[in-house]
Amino acid sequence: MQMSMTQTLFGGLLAVVFIFIIGRKLNLSSYWSAILAGLLPFLGYLGYGVSHPQDGDVLAIHLVVFMATAAVLGVFSITWKKKEKMHWAPKLIIAFFIMLAILNAALLSVATHGLPDWVTSLILPSEDQQQVHTVFPGVIPHDRNKLYEPHQQQIEQQRHLGWQVEMEGLDDLKGGVRQTLKLTLRDAQGQPIAADRVMLGFWRMANSKDDRTMRLQPAGAGIYQGEAMLSDAGRWVVEIHIERGKDVYHTKKSLLVNDPS
């Protein structure tokens, strides 16, 4: 089962606290309890990454958060055991890490789910005038930059074709939900076109490993259908590729896939 970063990060934090408490109950020193509390959840996350590959920056975030949390628990435990008043410097460091964890959690929530509705209504343009999306769109992988090279000749050829392409279902796509897509193809006079091949390509701006293609099957005069299920919500790019003999129609557009909830 694919888990979100929020689930793995905060689930791991709970595991850090639980393992530290168990270690102290077994009379392990605060040092070794903290080492095990930070290391074991991260090793578990590495095991999860074998079947669900993660980027290096995501691994680094989990390592730092788990070990920092374990270190804070260790410092508190030692101070409590000695019944000593903690110096202001360690308090400042601990407060810094707590604020950093809260800030990262807030940014992660905004990047994944967007700003709450009451916040967008206060600081962003009115939703009555335009659709507002605050979810992080992701970055463009280097191997996809070539898709932004000029295609002036192809655009001119498509303009002469005069084909009318209508796509239904793209705006309703939700992450992890299988849905039907329908494409209607007509010529300049509005007559249906029998294409040799109609393809859709989906590529993820945040992770090229999620890329996929599908072929739409004829479902009537000038109508082509198929079922698509994209792995996750967020910003995608959809490509429409149609062939009829030597004639080729190719276009792409930005696509925002909604959260299933």
Looking at the structure, tell me whether residues 154 and 244 fall in a common domain: yes
Looking at the structure, tell me whether residues 111 and 205 fall in a common domain: no
Q: Of 52, 84, 119, which residue sits at a domain end?
A: 119
Which pLDDT score, from 0 to 100, does residue 194 have? 93
39-55: average pLDDT = 81
Over 128-190, what HEC string results? CCCCCCCCCCCCCCHHHHHHHCCCHHHHHHHHHHCCEEEEECHHHCECCCCEEEEEEEECCCC
pTM given for the model: 0.45
Looking at the structure, tell me whether residues 161 and 226 fall in a common domain: yes
149-162: average pLDDT = 68
Order across the sheet with 164-168: list the strands. 164-168, 179-186, 223-228, 217-218
Quick check: is 115 in a domain?
yes
65-90: average pLDDT = 74
Report helix, strand or coil for 203: strand
198-203: average pLDDT = 92
Domain around 76? 5-119
Looking at the structure, tell me whether residues 85 and 28 fall in a common domain: yes
Looking at the structure, tell me whether residues 248 and 172 fall in a common domain: yes
In the chain, the amino acid numbered 199 is: M
CATH number at residue 166: 2.60.40.10
Looking at the structure, tell me whether residues 86 and 152 fall in a common domain: no
Say which residue the tokens 């408490």 belong to: 21
Looking at the structure, tell me whether residues 156 and 66 fall in a common domain: no
Query: Residue 147 in contact with residue 252, Cβ under 8 Å?
Result: yes
Mean pLDDT of the chain: 78
Quick check: is 131 in a domain?
no
pLDDT at 230 over 60: yes
Quick check: is 55 in a domain?
yes
Give the tens place of pLDDT for each residue, 100-114: 766 766 676 666 566
Number of domains forming the structure of the chain: 2
pLDDT band at 209 (very low <50, low <70, confident <90, very high): confident
Which pLDDT score, from 0 to 100, does residue 2 have? 61
Give the DSSP H/E element, type plus range, for residue 256: strand 247-257
Which pLDDT score, from 0 to 100, does residue 207 have? 67
